Amino acid sequence: MSVSPVYTCLSCRLKTLVVSAPRTSRRQLHASAAYSARKPTFPNVSASKMGLLTQGTGPSINDSRIKPYTEDEKALLAKKYTPDQLEAIYAGETAISDDDLRTQGRARTDPMRISYFDDFSKIRPIIDHPDEIPVGGTKEGDVGKLLKSTEPVKAPAPTREAPSRQQVAESTDPRILRLSQQTGMTPQQISKLRVKNLVNHRVVNQTRMGKIQSLYFLTIAGNEDGMLGIGEGKAAEDEDGRRQAMMNAIRNMKPVPRYEERTIYGEVEAKVGASVVQLSARAPGFGNRCQHLIYELARAAGIQDLAARTPRSRNKMNVVKAAFEALMAQRLPEDVARARGRKMVDVRKVYYGGQVY
């Protein structure tokens, strides 16, 4: 008895011949893990885990805070607010039920919680009217005393510390006194300026008397709040040359235009000799990413977000002078608008109420 073979199609026969190749892992181009495999640094804290969705769980606010106003408290509020404002305050507080405060007004237990509840019934000496602080500290009843009193109690005048030896020497130095008369700044303001020597080298002048050598210094000075100046000094002695450069830098201080008190206006470029300096404004938090000479200039002028390039010669003396000229050669938007016959309006001050950085 002959048995016929079972019929199989051509595709089924080919499936048995195909050998599955071993699957190799893809090559990672980055050292860090894939985005799907990353885990958040802090766990996600939901409202259910904090116990805010169920009533009667979790630490609740003391019920004494929800008590209605007493007659004395209403009298104190009437001295501070108008009747319309008091009516709005009462209407707003009655719109919120006590049950919502008990269930939702809870102390948080997550790592990002506030560690205290601010009590506005007490006077904090640093931020609450420092000129009207009673002598001898503050207590809970000080708010009522200040509201009832007609004349504010002045705080005692701060005691002045004795000047140090360096301050006494600077105040009696004739050079500092003359510099104070020329610039209009006090010796104390001059001592607080940021002064830094950036370039110094030895210079030799060939004369018929022989080689006469001297020391060259290039110094910058700034108050870190929009004023910057550079000065040069040359003398046979090291100390004389440094002092001469410092004095010239303080005399040559000029205001530097700053956008939002942190960076420059757009992009500027300046050229001194064979050195070219290109400065660019950057977003908040960018920092000063430039070479150390331009970094010191920006730091002394109070600029925090700046990028700089020196594509050509990097002679130190020319780079400092070119960077200073670039800061002074900024084109202000007010000047551009005035030249075009336009009126410039900062729209952000309308939307953000003037709180721009």
CA 72 to chain centre: 44
Pairing label, strands 306-309, 275-281: antiparallel
Among 247, 248, 230, 250, which Cα is nearest to 328's?
230
10-45 burial, b for 16+ CB within 10 Å, e for fewer? Answer: eeeeeeeeeeeeeeeeeeeeeeeeeeeeeeeeeeee
What is the rounded CA–CA span in Å between residue 214 and residue 200? 11
Among 263, 310, 259, which Cα is nearest to 286's?
263
**What CA–CA distances, in Å, run from 29 to 35, 38, 140, 153, 237?**
13, 16, 64, 70, 59
- 200 neighbors 280 (Cβ within 8 angstroms): no
pLDDT in tens, 186-227: 888 999 999 999 999 998 999 999 999 999 999 999 999 999
Place of tokens 């870190």: 224
| CATH number of the domain located at residue range(s) 178-255 in this protein | 3.30.160.20
- Considering only 22-31, 53-62, 253-262, which range has the smallest mean pLDDT? 53-62
- 58 neighbors 45 (Cβ within 8 angstroms): no
- Considering only 152-156, 194-198, 326-330, 349-353, which range has the smallest mean pLDDT? 152-156
Sequence spans of domains, the chain = 178-255
End-to-end CA distance of the chain: 98
pTM (predicted TM-score): 0.53
Most confident of 12-26, 118-132, 198-212: 198-212
pLDDT above 70 for 234: yes
Helix (H, G, I), strand (E, B) or coil at 206: strand
